[in-house]
Amino acid sequence: MFDLPDNEILPLSKEHVFWTWSAQAKVNPIPVKRAKGVYFWDVNDKRYLDFNSMTMCVNIGHGDERVIKAMQEQAAELPYAAPGMTTKIRAIASKAVADVTPQKALTKVLFTLGGADANENAIKLARGYTKRHKILTRYRSYHGASAGAMAATGDPRRVAWEPNLMTGVVHFLDPYRYRSTFHRSNPDVSEEEFTRDYLNHLEEIILYEGPESIAAILMESVTGTNGIIIPPDGYMQGVRALCDKYGIVMIADEVMSGFGRTGKWFAIEHWNVVPDIMTMAKGLTSAYAPLGAAAMKPEIAAAFDEHAFESGLTYTSHPISLAAAAANINVMKEDKIVEHAAGMGSALRRMLSDLGEAHPSVGEVRNIGLFGILELVKDRKTKEPMAPWNSSSPEMTALRKYCVDNGLFLYTHWHTVLIIPPLIITEAQLKEGMDVLDKALEITDKVASR
């Protein structure tokens, strides 16, 4: 339908595309041609094993014909309807999403275009429901690139845009055991005490900020790009209890951790906690079409029964995206993808700990389901990171280059390597990627103390 020789894709793109998150003169994108399962191919037919699910989003894998067909049929039947109308697919997809939420408790769904606007809308819902203003989020977090979601983001991506961001956000610290601020002199602290210390820290902030001014606590259930930080048992339950005690809305950002990524439909289910609002995107359609959502308890929705929710999007509930979501959820159920991810999580844990044992530059490995990370260090005792704060290093750059040159596409962030493959990956395919990584780690080992 659209003709362009393969060798013109890259130069023409470089001429006309303005790239996000990039210095324009330095971009060097992979010209991707096709993708299937856990692999994709560039225009030169080079094959890559996708260890990042593109942008941590292609959960069911590439090229699933069932989702593509559902989108094609929807496009032929009705590609768009206005936000105030409803459609067959809007009825079906909203029920399908509500049905997979924790304990099926989040019965009302507001559809957005992605994760950032899902969080923006969740914040508006919480503010409207509580008639309070402040939002508490964690430092090691990313919630999106629009002004409100960027204000909520705790990591340095926020700082570039300050002070022109949404007001009212207060940040707090994450229960990050490997580099715990509160336990440097007591790294063997019990899990119970560790958890209590971080909950006390949060409660102290709540009290100083004034509970009557706090609308919501917004958290990634398992922190994504900022380090796959898996909360200890009791932490999420404790945050839930603090929210109940002070009348604060609990918002779980499951944009990255949701839809099977951690071996449950949503990460928060590992701790049997039901948030008041849950945001999602990425795995909601496995990226076959853009879509986000804020699913909420009926009482949150009921706060807007008699007056309007003053917000909207031209493309809310876009039928083609909803067809992708409904088909994606069906595929996940039919193929038991969540259960498969849980099983592969155990295989990933074994492989990660093998790498940890073999390589002195590995400080710690963590994973929950197919959400994994290696923290690379120059010295295991001092935990000096392999790259400085908010930066990269020649070793990290060389490690990633080795992987990509050898057909392993993965994401590195500062001194960490993330392992976030499509959830359909087999043990043999995981091993295939880990073998490349095993060799790549020899680069960082060279500068690590033994």
Ligand X SMILES: Cc1ncc(COP(=O)(O)O)c(C=O)c1O
Site mask, ligand X, residues 185-224, x = CB under 6 A? -----------------------------------x---x
Residues in 16-35 that interact with ligand X by CB under 6 A:
none
Q: How far is the CB of 208 from ligand X (least distance, A)?
A: 26
Q: Which is nearer to ligand X, 144 or 148 (CB)?
A: 144
Give residue number: closest CB to ligand X: 115
Residue pointed to by tokens 């930080």 = 229
331 burial (CB, 10 Å; 0-12 / 13-18 / 19+) is buried
Q: How far is the CB of 240 from ligand X (least distance, A)?
A: 19
Q: Which is nearer to ligand X, 224 or 238 (CB)?
A: 224
Q: Which is nearer to ligand X, 114 or 263 (CB)?
A: 114
**Does 256 help bind ligand X (rule: CB under 6 A)?**
yes
Q: In this chain, which of 106, 206, 249, 255 binds ligand X, going by CB under 6 A? A: 255
Q: How far is the CB of 229 from ligand X (least distance, A)?
A: 12
Residues 258, 254: Cα–Cα separation, whole Å: 5
Q: How far is the CB of 223 from ligand X (least distance, A)?
A: 8
Residues 116, 149: Cα–Cα separation, whole Å: 6
Q: Which is nearer to ligand X, 115 or 319 (CB)?
A: 115
Site mask, ligand X, residues 131-160, x = CB under 6 A? -----------xxx----------------
Residues 55, 66: Cα–Cα separation, whole Å: 21
Q: How far is the CB of 141 from ligand X (least distance, A)?
A: 7
Residue closest to 140 by CA, chosen among 183, 176, 191, 180 = 176
Amino acid at 58: V
Residues 438, 432: Cα–Cα separation, whole Å: 10
- Which structure tokens are listed for 254? 């499951």
**Does 171 help bind ligand X (rule: CB under 6 A)?**
no
Residues 442, 402: Cα–Cα separation, whole Å: 10
**Does 375 help bind ligand X (rule: CB under 6 A)?**
no
Residues in 294-313 that interact with ligand X by CB under 6 A:
none
Residues 175, 350: Cα–Cα separation, whole Å: 24
Q: How far is the CB of 48 from ligand X (least distance, A)?
A: 20
Q: Which is nearer to ligand X, 220 or 395 (CB)?
A: 220
Q: What is the size of the binding site for ligand X (CB under 6 A)?
A: 14
Q: How far is the CB of 282 from ligand X (least distance, A)?
A: 7
Stretch near ligand X under the rule CB under 6 A, chosen from 43-51, 253-261, 295-303, 314-322: 253-261
Q: Which is nearer to ligand X, 128 or 224 (CB)?
A: 224
Q: Which is nearer to ligand X, 292 or 372 (CB)?
A: 292
Q: Which is nearer to ligand X, 116 or 352 (CB)?
A: 116
Q: Which is nearer to ligand X, 229 or 301 (CB)?
A: 229
- Chain residues binding ligand X by CB under 6 A are 114-116, 119, 142-144, 220, 224, 253, 255-256, 281, 292
